[in-house]
Amino acid sequence: MHGGPFNYEYQQPFVEAIVRDGDPHNFTDPDRNEEFLRTGFVPGEKPEQIQATLTGKPAITPRKRTAMAYKVLSKRMAEAMKVYIKACGDDGVRCKEKNGQIDLMNRLRDVSGFKVAPKIRALMWEYFGDDDAVAVDRHVANWACKDARLVCAVDNEGNEIKWKKGDNVPQKMFDVVGDAVRDEAPKCEITAAELQVAAWTKGACRATGRKGNLYLGEGGSIPCGKFKAGKLVTL
């Protein structure tokens, strides 16, 4: 879902709907996936209604998501589900073990448009339960520099990076920032993955200028106003 025609508020409810369905075979047909995307994540509710409910803002209009975007994402999702079935099995049991998890990551490289870059691999390790995994993006890197003052990411010329939407963390800085988060986490008495998620959440609120709630999943959200300059608060 990431990088598709939907923003974060759309992505998570859709993923949750797939999990509730429980059968990966139901999402191997691109046409069925497209219908699922267009009609909404919750029966009787369209994506535009979901957006308005979660954020309290006016619904995003359908014209901002092109027909091609729907088709591309629907096909990519179908390919990814077929790969999941091959790597993990119908019941997902094989991917509870390390070898199955690695096999899934490697197979996903064959899915058109699915980039298994360091951030995605780290996210997947987090989902698999690795508390030491740190998925570094611009939000986490910005927090590590401006808020926690742990380390600042620099470009190839050694200049501090001024983050803007769409920027990726340079490969050479990914582990540097990740290690800084891992070193800091014990001081907060939380895991590295938890600290990264907290840092990302603050960054997502700041990047969007959001004053209302940020949806985190399973019906839960946090008010962005709880974040204070330079601090992480208990959620």
* 60-118 pLDDT tens trace: 444 455 677 778 888 988 999 999 999 999 999 999 999 999 999 999 988 887 778 88
Tell me the per-residue pLDDT of 1-37, one tens digit each, with 9 for 90 and over: 565 556 666 677 777 778 888 899 999 999 988 887 7
Identify the pLDDT of residue 47.
Answer: 52
pLDDT at residue 175 tops 50: yes
Residue 35 is part of which domain span? Answer: 8-116
pTM of the model: 0.78
Instruction: Give residue for tokens 């619904």.
Output: 59
Query: What CA–CA distance (Å, rounded) separates 11 from 82?
Result: 20
Catalogue the long-range contacts made by 39-44 (C-beta closer than 8 Å, 24 or more residues apart).
41/10, 41/13, 41/14, 41/16, 41/17, 42/13, 42/17
70 and 160 in a single domain? The answer is no
Instruction: Give domain status of residue 96, yes or no.
Output: yes
Q: Virtual CA dihedral for 145, 149, 155, 161, nearest 10 degrees?
A: 40
pLDDT in tens, 189-223: 999 999 999 998 888 777 666 566 777 777 677 77
Is residue 205 domain-shared with residue 165, that is, in the same domain? yes
d(CA 205, CA 93): 36
Tell me: the pLDDT tens digits for 132-142? 999 999 999 99
The tally of domains found in the chain comes to 2
Name the token pair of 52: 């308005």
Residues 109 and 178 in one domain: no
User: Is residue 180 within 8 Å of residue 188, measured between CB atoms?
Assistant: no
pLDDT tens column, 155-173 = 888 889 888 877 888 888 9
Q: Is residue 127 part of a domain?
A: no
Question: Does 169 map to a domain?
Answer: yes
**121 within domain boundaries:** no
Residues 145 and 87 in one domain: no
